[in-house]
Structure 1
Amino acid sequence: MPPDSLPKTTEGLLTLLDEEIERRYEYVAKPLQRIDSIHKVINTTTDLKKKLNLYEAIGDQYDGVNADSAILYFTRGIDMGIACGDSVLAQRCLFKRCLQLTIIGAAKECIDQIKSAEDFGIYPENRYRYYATGRFVYYNLAVFYPYRQSVDTYLSLGLPYAKGCLELTAPNTPEHELNKALIHHSLKQGILHIAHLNDVISLSTSLDRNFVQASTLLGEAYMASGKDTDAINAFAAAAIANIRNADRHGTALMRLGMVLYSQGDIKSAYKYLATALDNTVMGGVRMNSAQISQALAPVQNDIHVIERNRFIFLACLIAVLLILLGFIVFLIIKQRKEVIVLKTMKKRLSNANMVKETYITEFLNLCSANMEKTEEFSRLCRRKITAGQSEELLHYIKSGKVSEEQRNIFYNIFDDAFIHIFPTFIADVNLLLQSDKQLVTMNTELRILAFTRLGMDDTTRIARFLGLSLNTIYTYRNKLRNKALNRETFESDVMKIGQIA
């Protein structure tokens, strides 16, 4: 897009304005670079007349960038002009300084200096600048003071200066049409005022300061008549032109923020008003600072409300998310526990199946061993009886060797089968016993506990299986309870060994 072209739509203008705001320091850097170059020339010349023109040139470069610095160099121009006898240039610098005094809020001092110049006499070369300065002061005061009576007063005071400018400008030029617009504004002829402002815009480029002033005044007129969209377009165009001209003194950005705030666009209003305030501070435009600060206060309050509500919303959202996250973590942990339990149960069921198979195998082994011993005993009986050794056979039977061998076979098979069913039985029993009463291998005491764990509460049957008397079984049980950590719950604790939780 060419540097002096502007979009036609509101969205396009605001988008371009946002881009130019980001680049505003680049535009300001250009006049500052020119100022540095002029300083180098000043330091190398001894010609007072040339220095006088260079000081004025530096003041011109500071115009729009920093009012205080511009005042400083225009003052030097006045002093040096008087010292050199160049009263025309000194008076010209005086009028330029008056513009800057108005910008920093010293309008009364400016008016006094204009009147002093009138009393002294206006040089013909400075007549237009004299009228332009008076016009600038009073029309700016009319904008600065919003009270109707003050506005009318300053417009009336500015009218002669606008007419003086009109007489000294060529027809069909931006400057000529701008003066016409200001005259109609003073006379409260709104339609003609707007028409001539549009003529200024059509005759000038966006880099022309007449374009900036006309667009700003046009925005004021539209805002006063309730045409907010047209006002936004005019103010946005003027603000873009101000930035491109490195002019921090314009009021367009401030007015744009005020219109957008009235439409409820708080975010954009805050952005433009804050940028306008930054411009006024950097540019020393104290005349605008009060208005911008006043306009910015309610916007900041609304921004704080929005931020507080957003914070509350985010806090609530985070709280909900944390609760949800906690619930998800709880479900995951619960699911993992259930998976672990299922895996454990699966493993135990698998072990139970293996134990069942082992138990069946051991049962078959026991039956097979019993059948084998029975057949062996039958063969022995037949052989002894056939050989006439009945008494020897009777003696063998009475010796109990047959029963003892059968019982040992039973113990071996029972111990092996039971340990397969409860592989940690001995260790689990030891956890219930005192540390110095631990058991190491399967013995009579552990077999009694094994029968108890299998649910066999018939002491007579246990005694028969183990080949012991009832009293012996009771004695063993009593000894085991005495070894236990908890005598009262010992047998119930034994029953819990190997249970699936």
Structure 2
Amino acid sequence: MKNLLILFSLFIVCHNSSGQEDRDSLIRQLEWSLIKIDSFTSHKTNKIILIKDRLKSTSSLEDRYRLTKMLSKEYQAYRYDSALKYASRRISLALDIEDEQEIFEAKLDNIFVLRSGGLFKEALDSLKSIDISILNDSSRIGFLEESARTYLNLTDYIGDNFYSPIYRQNGIDSLKKALQFLNITQAQYSWITGSLAEADWAPEAIKDSYKYLLHNFRLTKHELARANNSIGQSYWSVGDEEIAELYFIKAAIYDIHSNTKETVALMNLSTLLFRKGETERAYNFIQQAAEDASFYGSKQRKLQVAQILPEIEAYRQAEIKYKNNQLLFITLVLLGVGIIIAFFLFTIYRQNKKLKTARKELANSNTKLVAANDELLESNKIKEEYIVYSFDKEAQHLKKLEMVSRSINRKLLDRKFDDIHSIIDSLQLKDKTANFYKDLDHVFLSIFPHFLESFNTFFEPEDQFLIKDSNQLPSEIRIFALMRLGIRDYEKIAGILNYSLRTIYNYKNKVKSKSILPNDEFDNAVMNIKALSIS
């Protein structure tokens, strides 16, 4: 699946390079490639693991050299420390197999890694250790080309006015010597003429050499990236940034697809985009370039990225701050406009509210009068019932007290003190208390005959209350009955029912805890239970 993904990606890039140059399309392809970069890296990693496994399982010196050579090539532009490690091992194994050509090629690969990592002194020392007189023409071309690249890279690295011209001329001389061994029809001839044009900084010659390579030879992905980047730099040097950008984009795409971490295309593209004002995109690309440089591990490349990244980051932060300030200003303006609109809407609303209030007050007055009248009638009904009940009970009580008083006086006169106890016992105070509760329940239910039925709607069926004795309320319900009569003082309720205040609270909380109503709505629900029709 990963192989198909990579092949499909390369087809898109190659197709675009031969068709119309569409900047937006290329940018989308690059951004897509960056999203899929882990897939390409995973493919590369799996390939390296496979070679390492084969290396571990072989004891043949020739096979060990061949597999080490493969690992050295895989790591060359991918990971610096590993590339250096396997390049050194390759030299040792080449010496073991005593193959002069392989020894030379191993040293040349090691020089490539050394200069890629910025170890120019070591690279030059290695070049001096090679006896060029014993090399064949093909090897001599490779030697001269690597020598030239080392001197030219060193020229860019030093960048002074004393040593740089000397190293630059050494590089040019090496390239010119290499051309003497090549035919104009060979791909390597165009690579060297392109490098020579870059050293002489001849933009038109750079374009001609590398475009000739692109159109006439089948190049690897890494070579395609290198050629496109060089063409892009030539256009950039003469101020043609739009075309330069297209070539940098293609070079960056090929670098990603070839898993090249030792690259400058994405860094060049980031710098160009930054100067064009595309700060956000430039920042995203330079971040990836920084990750690539860190992954590869070359101090030289990290330093190059570090020179650009802070500038882009600082400008990006300033741009974000500016946009945030603009957004804040627009927000404040909109807020001000909103406040003004809200003020006018509030004024209109207030005028309309006054008109509605005037209408509602008339309706509310009638409603309140009706409600007040109903409450007054209910209150009068309760008072009438309990006044009649109270007068009747009071008369019976006074009559009884008068009879008891006379009996006690007679017993006192007759000095029959023991008989006084029998008189007190005859009062039957416990029975009278029970009768008091019974009478209280009777009068209450005559006013609120549906009280218990309504009260039970506040509970689940299994928690509802029943009247066990005829017309007698459960003790807990009697508390709420007194509340419905208008007695809200719990101390008075405790006195009437002959309970402690704590008992009242315990009963009340116990009942409310079983209710399906919220605690803060329970008391109001009780007070809304209607009395017998009083119309």
Q: Indicate the TM-score class for this superposition, using the shorter chain for normalisation.
A: 0.5 to 0.7
Q: Does 1:100 align with 2:110?
A: no
Q: Does 1:213 align with 2:229?
A: no
Alignment of 1:366-377 (within 5 A): none
RMSD: 3.7
Alignment of 1:377-416 (within 5 A): none
Q: Does 1:171 align with 2:184?
A: yes
Report if the CA contact (8 A) 2:207-2:231 is conserved: yes
Deviation at 1:163, TM superposition (A): 3.0
CA separation in 2, counterparts of 1:326 and 1:205? 69
Report if the CA contact (8 A) 2:83-2:113 is conserved: yes
Alignment of 1:113-192 (within 5 A): 113-118=126-131, 122=135, 126-146=139-159, 152-187=165-200, 189-192=202-205
Paired residue for 2:52?
A: 39
CA separation in 2, counterparts of 1:140 and 1:6? 32
CA separation in 2, counterparts of 1:337 and 1:352? 21
CA separation in 1, counterparts of 2:36 and 2:367? 82
Q: Does 1:257 align with 2:267?
A: no
Deviation at 1:51, TM superposition (A): 0.4
CA separation in 1, counterparts of 2:179 and 2:15? 28
Q: Which letter does structure 1 place at the counterpart of 2:64?
A: K
Paired residue for 1:4?
A: 14
Q: Does 1:13 align with 2:23?
A: no
Percent sequence identity is: 18
Deviation at 1:234, TM superposition (A): 1.9
Deviations 1:113-159 (A, max 9, x none): 11112379546663333223213322333444555666543332112
Q: Which letter does structure 2 place at the counterpart of 1:243?
A: I
Report if the CA contact (8 A) 2:141-2:181 is conserved: yes
1:5 is paired with a residue whose SS is: helix
Deviation at 1:251, TM superposition (A): 0.9
CA separation in 2, counterparts of 1:103 and 1:41? 28
Seen in structure 2, the aligned counterparts of structure 1 residues 338 and 173 have a Cα distance that, compared at 3 Å, is farther
Unaligned runs of 5+ in 2: 1-10, 377-535
Q: Does 1:300 align with 2:310?
A: no
Deviations 1:390-429 (A, max 9, x none): xxxxxxxxxxxxxxxxxxxxxxxxxxxxx88996999xxx
Q: Does 1:284 align with 2:294?
A: no
Report if the CA contact (8 A) 2:94-2:103 is conserved: yes
Report if the CA contact (8 A) 1:58-1:73 is conserved: yes
Seen in structure 2, the aligned counterparts of structure 1 residues 273 and 352 have a Cα distance that, compared at 3 Å, is closer
Report if the CA contact (8 A) 2:274-2:312 is conserved: yes
CA separation in 1, counterparts of 2:371 and 2:311? 83
Seen in structure 2, the aligned counterparts of structure 1 residues 195 and 3 have a Cα distance that, compared at 3 Å, is closer
Report if the CA contact (8 A) 1:32-1:61 is conserved: no
1:117 is paired with a residue whose SS is: coil
Q: Which letter does structure 1 place at the counterpart of 2:51?
A: I
Report if the CA contact (8 A) 1:6-1:237 is conserved: no
The alignment of Structure 1 onto Structure 2 pairs a total of residues equal to: 365
Q: Larger Cα Rg: Structure 1 or Structure 2?
A: 1
CA separation in 1, counterparts of 2:193 and 2:307? 32
Deviation at 1:244, TM superposition (A): 1.4
Q: Which letter does structure 1 place at the counterpart of 2:251?
A: A
Report if the CA contact (8 A) 1:204-1:210 is conserved: no
Moved more, 321-330 or 282-291: 321-330
Seen in structure 2, the aligned counterparts of structure 1 residues 233 and 352 have a Cα distance that, compared at 3 Å, is closer
2:14 is paired with a residue whose SS is: coil
| Residue 230 of structure 1, aligned match among 225, 233, 243 | 243
Deviation at 1:50, TM superposition (A): 0.9
Deviations 1:49-76 (A, max 9, x none): 2101111111111122111111111111
CA separation in 2, counterparts of 1:66 and 1:95? 17
Paired residue for 1:54?
A: 67
Paired residue for 1:27?
A: 40
CA separation in 1, counterparts of 2:371 and 2:41? 92
CA separation in 1, counterparts of 2:80 and 2:235? 29
Seen in structure 2, the aligned counterparts of structure 1 residues 331 and 88 have a Cα distance that, compared at 3 Å, is same
Seen in structure 2, the aligned counterparts of structure 1 residues 21 and 135 have a Cα distance that, compared at 3 Å, is farther
| Residue 324 of structure 2, aligned match among 294, 302, 311 | 311
CA separation in 2, counterparts of 1:40 and 1:248? 24
Deviation at 1:316, TM superposition (A): 4.6
Report if the CA contact (8 A) 1:4-1:206 is conserved: no
| Residue 87 of structure 2, aligned match among 59, 74, 77 | 74
Unaligned runs of 5+ in 1: 356-418, 427-501
Deviation at 1:295, TM superposition (A): 1.5
CA separation in 1, counterparts of 2:178 and 2:113? 19
Q: Which letter does structure 1 place at the counterpart of 2:142?
A: R
Seen in structure 2, the aligned counterparts of structure 1 residues 59 and 149 have a Cα distance that, compared at 3 Å, is same
2:129 is paired with a residue whose SS is: helix
CA separation in 2, counterparts of 1:421 and 1:51? 105
Q: Which letter does structure 1 place at the counterpart of 2:249?
A: A
CA separation in 2, counterparts of 1:17 and 1:114? 38
Seen in structure 2, the aligned counterparts of structure 1 residues 139 and 5 have a Cα distance that, compared at 3 Å, is farther
Deviation at 1:164, TM superposition (A): 4.1
CA separation in 2, counterparts of 1:220 and 1:127? 29
Seen in structure 2, the aligned counterparts of structure 1 residues 171 and 125 have a Cα distance that, compared at 3 Å, is closer
CA separation in 2, counterparts of 1:51 and 1:16? 39
Seen in structure 2, the aligned counterparts of structure 1 residues 322 and 101 have a Cα distance that, compared at 3 Å, is same
Q: TM-score, normalised by structure 1?
A: 0.63
CA separation in 1, counterparts of 2:239 and 2:123? 34
CA separation in 2, counterparts of 1:191 and 1:81? 42
